Structure 1
Amino acid sequence: MTAHINANADDFASTVIMPGDPLRAKFIAENYFMDYQEVTNVRNMLGYTGFYLGQPVSVMGHGMGIPSMTLYAHELVHDFGVKRIIRVGSLGATQQNIKMRDIILAVAAGTDSVTNLKRSSGYSMATSAHFPLLQKAWSLAQNAGIEVKAGNVFSGDLYYDPDDNLIPALEKFGVLGVDMEVAGLYALAHQFGIEALAILTVSDHCLTGEETTAEERQLTFNSMIELALNTAVTA
């Protein structure tokens, strides 16, 4: 048990699926797990462990932004022995060829956050997915006929960023979209030597202004969730 996770030492599976929204974690447990139980609920950051296709898997929310993401991921790894984290969440598209509800496999992530610099003695280190996990998700998607795109993303500290140059710069450099957590997760994974992958669904478009509702983001995006779960139990 930690200050932020009131679970027992063996309550989490070795793989944790992590959406930002704790209600999405509840949705995943209720709709995909067998024999699941709630294992943590501090500050309503809900976490569950159950079975998917006969394999133990956990799901827990991580909140918004790199500090929240890495706080929960740190405790899961350091205090509960988690070996693999797969983030599922939303992405704002920054390329014209990316469409609403496209599924993105985040190969690597840049960021404007200084938090990663604290992990690397002030140097800007590349933050990337665990390649075998990325390869497994790609292969499963192809076999299931799920169209996915793989490429770089950008994790911003500010949801409402006042910098008018950011989106044009991301578009110019071929970055597929912007979120608020992936770079933090990948850096933590490098630090602790665990496996990490982010599978994201385009919820809004930074170039066209299209967007989904909060309810859609919470209760849909099922292809992303199923791909993450299938990756978790076959990796």
Structure 2
Amino acid sequence: MTMHNHAEVGEISERIVLVGDPNRAKYIAEHYLEDAVLVNDVRCAYCYTGMFEGVRVSVMAVGMGGPSMLIYATELCRDYGCKILVRAGTSGGYRDDMKNFDIVLSQAVSTTSGINDNMFNGHFSPVADFGLLSTARSIADEEHLVTYVGGTVCNDRLYRDENYKSKMWKKYGMLCSEQEGCAFYTAAAEFGCRALMMVGITTGIRYDENGQEIFVDLPEREHAQSMDDLVRLALKTAAHAE
């Protein structure tokens, strides 16, 4: 039990999927986990533990933004013994060829966040666990899901003005912008845990004539992907990673 999580040690699986929205955690538990049990509801950070394809898995809501993610990921790794953590979230895509709910597997995270400032005598580069990344890509290929693998950028600000040099991230190959990846991978690294962030692209990031970011709706693919595709990929990765 911690300040933010009233589950007892042992009630949360070593394999866990993290989402932002508590209603999404509830949905996953109800639709994908067998014999799901609610083990935490403090601050609506719902955490359920059940069985998925014969493997004990938990799913937990951790809110939005780096500080919230850092709190929960730290406690899950440090206090609850979680070893495999998969984040299933949403993101804004930079690439012009992306369609609605294409999936990005984040290989490494660049960031504008300050959560690691003054922690190192240099700049720490948070990265995914290669084994989890390989497992997720293999499963995605078997499921015929459209995925991208590469760098992502983590921002504290969602709404940014023309002074933010967003086009530089796109120029240097970043696939998408989100808000939790740096904290997620940092906490996992600190405690020697394995982590992978995967995000569904729900909006496109484009620019007006003044260089101001604008969000645009994305077209569907012929075989449309959805949040359920992302959820299944996250659960399968967490459950079946060696």
TM-score past 0.5 threshold: yes
Identity of aligned residues (%): 33
- In 2, Cα distance between the equivalents of 1:170 and 1:78? 33
Matches within 5 A, 1:63-78: 63-78=63-78
The match for 1:189 is 188
- In 2, Cα distance between the equivalents of 1:211 and 1:45? 29
AA partner of residue 116 (structure 1): N
Matches within 5 A, 1:164-179: 164-179=163-178
- Bigger CA radius of gyration: 2
1:134 matched to 2:133? yes
Aligned residue for 2:59, secondary structure, equals strand
1:146 matched to 2:152? no
- In 2, Cα distance between the equivalents of 1:162 and 1:84? 37
| Conserved 8 A contact 1:100-1:202 | yes
- Displacement of 1:155 in angstroms is 0.5
- Displacement of 1:165 in angstroms is 3.6
- In 2, Cα distance between the equivalents of 1:5 and 1:44? 10
- In 1, Cα distance between the equivalents of 2:162 and 2:68? 23
Aligned residue for 1:108, secondary structure, equals strand
TM-score, with structure 1 as normaliser? 0.92
| Conserved 8 A contact 1:91-1:200 | yes
AA partner of residue 89 (structure 1): G
AA partner of residue 196 (structure 1): A
- In 1, Cα distance between the equivalents of 2:57 and 2:109? 25
AA partner of residue 240 (structure 2): T
- In 1, Cα distance between the equivalents of 2:121 and 2:27? 39
Aligned residue for 1:57, secondary structure, equals strand
TM-score, with structure 2 as normaliser? 0.90
AA partner of residue 13 (structure 1): S
Matches within 5 A, 1:90-101: 90-101=90-101
Matches within 5 A, 1:47-62: 47-62=47-62
- Displacement of 1:163 in angstroms is 4.8
- In 2, Cα distance between the equivalents of 1:225 and 1:142? 15
- In 2, Cα distance between the equivalents of 1:54 and 1:163? 50
- Displacement of 1:227 in angstroms is 0.6
Out of 229, 233, 237, the residue aligned to residue 223 of structure 1 is: 229
Matched positions, count? 227
Aligned residue for 1:206, secondary structure, equals strand
- Displacement of 1:87 in angstroms is 0.4
- In 1, Cα distance between the equivalents of 2:217 and 2:123? 32
| Conserved 8 A contact 1:20-1:62 | yes
- In 1, Cα distance between the equivalents of 2:104 and 2:90? 9
Structure 1 residues 116 and 34: CA distance shift in structure 2, 3 A: same
Structure 1 residues 128 and 141: CA distance shift in structure 2, 3 A: same
AA partner of residue 173 (structure 2): G
Matches within 5 A, 1:101-120: 101-118=101-118, 120=119
Deviation digits for residues 63-120 of structure 1, max 9, x if unmatched? 11110001001111111111111000001011212222111100111111111234x4
AA partner of residue 66 (structure 1): G
| Conserved 8 A contact 1:98-1:176 | no
Structure 1 residues 180 and 163: CA distance shift in structure 2, 3 A: farther
- Displacement of 1:211 in angstroms is 4.0
| Conserved 8 A contact 1:94-1:167 | no
Q: Which has the higher helix share?
A: 1
The match for 1:215 is none
- In 2, Cα distance between the equivalents of 1:68 and 1:122? 25
Q: Which runs of 5+ in 2 are unaligned?
A: 207-213, 219-225
- Displacement of 1:59 in angstroms is 0.4
Structure 1 residues 167 and 99: CA distance shift in structure 2, 3 A: farther
Aligned residue for 1:24, secondary structure, equals helix
- In 2, Cα distance between the equivalents of 1:159 and 1:125? 23
